[in-house]
Structure 1
Amino acid sequence: MTSADLTASRREQALDWLLRLQQAPRDMPLREQFEQWLASDTENAEAYRKAERLWRLSGQLAPTTSEQWPASAEVVQLPVRRKVPRRWWLGAAVAACLMLAVAPSLSLRLQADYRTGQGETRDVTLADGSVVQLDSDTAIAVDYLGNRRDVRLLAGQAFFEVKPDKSKPFHVRAEGVQVTVTGTAFNVQLRPGRVGVDVQHGSVRVEEAAKVLAAALTAGQRLRYQDGQAQVSLFVPSQAAAWRQGQLIANDQPVAELVQELARHLPGTVLLRDDALGRERVTGVYDLRKPEAALRAVIRPHGGEVRSYGPWLLVLSKP
């Protein structure tokens, strides 16, 4: 998992702890678990401090751990309310979700040449005539210099229809993984801790640093690279980048992975608060044009439910 992935994960964990502590302020076992999480990593404490600050600024919530943090010039001291109405902490949760999502979005905006928002797709024709289709919440940076055609996938996933030119290889980079082609059609997916490559037609070479992961990945072959391991499997070529037809196809995948995928098509934040639910396996076809309904369809068979706190926060758990 990259440092950016770890930061995003800590940010979500911090928000989850805020929700849990506000809902059960007198739950001492919960408080002990929270203290253990804080002590397990100094970065956890920092993530929580930032999240709590957003709550205090946006919702006038009483700080739950203010005694642990030294005062700083950038923290606005707000009056403490003895009793916080439910509507206040829900409103603060919504605002925190929005503000926590801003920083990574701004970073991508600075790096990207082309990007899409949540629920948006886009077709981009590059200078050589190659076409890139961007999925929801996706960003790429393009660098055509000399005899090289380079594209960096910064977030999300994209489908590439590459114009053949043997004198100028086409490279797609996602984190440390590089896909090299001369002319073909393929999908590259970047998700926290993993990279996926699906080939619709033609062939590609996939490598990570000096390590060759696949010398020739051909039509109907799929590569998944995670935790330093590459796994190649077969799929129906017509299903490559099914997202282009508004479909999410799951074949014995963990719920957590599908939740992560559907979250890219929803505004705000989606929190999966049950690890056991996240490990359940799912097979099916889901409609990306109705992502919240798809989310409910994914978890309902396993006893999960979706709680909506306005349009910006969905919390998934078992009753």
Structure 2
Amino acid sequence: MPLEDGANARRDQAVDWLLRLQQAPADEVLRAQFVQWCEADTANAKAYGKAERVWQLTGRLAPATSENGSPATAPIAANTAQPRLVARPRRVRRWVAAAIAACLVVALAPSLILGWQADYRTASGETRDVTLSDGSVVQLDSHSAIAVDFSGQRRDVRLLVGQAFFKVTPDKSRPFHVRAKAMQITVTGTAFNVDLDRDGMSVAVQNGSVNVQDWQAGRALASLVPGQRLSYRGGQADLATFAPTQAAPWRQGQLIADDLPISEVVEQLRRYVPGLIVLNDADLGAQRVTGVYDLRKPQAALQAILKPSGAKVSRYSPWLFVLSR
């Protein structure tokens, strides 16, 4: 077996032990088997220690290993094959259970709230075309959601998360409004993309024209024509130009980075990965990349983004990716 395959197999075993121990912390037989696995090969204990440290990055658990990477259990007695295990106090077990429950609530709450607010939404890796009652079409990117309010003389859509491409049916008597945080886009008939991320928002026009304003501050920001993109972050508006056909490259399964920080590109890729991407290295995140990446293969895209900097992607489960040098 190649060395890399052996290391991957050991890593997978370590993650499996970690999950089993977390699910049954009071199972002494399981803990004894775990100790035997660690002592069978020092590489096993090191693999477990690394898996545990990575898992801690998500805030999921307290350490179960000592500082040198060995399992944090009582030493094995000379005349027995079983380790002397110290029973975990009942109130500590209750505290751990409560902490896990709290983590689940924190993790699930945003999704539940989004479910209540959204009229249309997509899951990670899913795209969707929505035809509104006026004939306008909204294409939702992966992990995106909108709320629709058509009443009287108004056509209002609110982008709650992610990004969407709008093809608006012309109607001069009923302007079409899209809100994304503080930004409001007003059109009568055009095609444009709106992108909402953690730090701000942007609008890019493919054809027609749009008026953009900060509706909270009550001030106009810009009037955009085809090939113009407005980014709005921290109250600062930045205008850029591009080829109109590239208003929404995600529709062709592409992510285009033009001298962008790795952290920003990774933030965009998070929409397409059904799990957690951990990037805790600020220096690595600040390095800049240029390229075209395939959104249909997000893990390969991550690896391509990191390759110029000599960094790597470590996959610890289908739901956990760690970026490091």
Q: TM-score, normalised by structure 1?
A: 0.72
Seen in structure 2, the aligned counterparts of structure 1 residues 22 and 259 have a Cα distance that, compared at 3 Å, is farther
Answer yes or no: is 1:144 the counterpart of 2:150.
yes
RMSD across aligned C-alpha pairs, in angstroms? 2.9
Separation (CA, whole Å) in 1 of partners of 2:64 and 2:311 = 19
CA positional deviation for 1:21:
7.1
The answer for the alignment partner of 2:300 in structure 1 is 293
1:128 partner SS: coil
Which whole-Å deviations, capped at 9, do the CAs of 1:33-52 have from their partners, x for residues lacking one?
xxxxxxxxxxxxxxxxxxxx
1:76 and 2:117 aligned: no
SS in 2 for 1:309: strand
- The structural deviation recorded for 1:134 is 0.0
Structure 1: gaps of 5 or more residues: 1-13, 28-61, 64-70, 80-91
CA change 1:146–1:316 in 2 (3 A) is same
Tell me by how many angstroms 1:18 deviates.
Answer: 3.6
1:213 maps to amino acid = L
Match of 1:264, SS?
A: helix
Q: What corresponds to 2:289 in structure 1?
A: 282
Q: Tell me what 1:264 maps to.
A: 271
Structure 1: how far apart are the matches of 2:232 and 2:197?
10
- Counterpart check, 1:308 vs 2:310: no
Structure-2 residue corresponding to 1:121: 127
Over 3 Å counting, the alpha-carbon distance change for 1:98 and 1:199 in structure 2 is: farther
Unaligned runs of 5+ in 2: 1-54, 69-87
Instruction: Considering Cα pairs closer than 8 Å and 6+ residues apart, tell me whether 1 or 2 has the greater RCO.
Output: 1
Q: Does 1:189 align with 2:195?
A: yes
Aligned-partner residue type, residue 160 of structure 2: L
How far did 1:78 drift? 5.5
> Sequence identity, in percent?
58
Residue 272 of structure 2 aligns to a residue whose secondary structure is: coil
Task: Provide, for residues 10-67 of structure 1, a one-character-per-residue CA deviation record: whole Å limited to 9, x for no partner.
Answer: xxxx96274797498649xxxxxxxxxxxxxxxxxxxxxxxxxxxxxxxxxx89xxxx
Q: Hey, what's the Cα distance between the residues in 2 that align with 1:25 and 1:203?
A: 62
Counterpart-to-counterpart distance in 2, 1:141 and 1:317: 38
Judge conservation of contact 1:123–1:134 (CA < 8 Å) in 2: yes
Mapping of residues 200-239 of structure 1, within 5 Å: 200-209=206-215, 210-214=218-222, 216-239=223-246
Offset from partner CA, 1:215-264 (integer Å, 9 cap, x none): x1010000000011000010010111100010001111110111011111
Aligned residues: 248
- Structure 1's consecutive aligned runs of 4 or more residues displaced over 4 angstroms after TM superposition are 95-100
Give the counterpart of 1:16 among 31, 52, 57. Answer: 57
Q: Quick one: which of 135, 141, 152 aligns to 1:135?
A: 141
Q: Is the 8 A contact 2:60 2:103 kept in 1?
A: no
CA–CA distance in structure 2, aligned partners of residues 78 and 148 of structure 1: 51
In 2: Cα distance, 1:316 partner to 1:145 partner: 47
Q: Is residue 153 of structure 1 aligned with residue 159 of structure 2?
A: yes
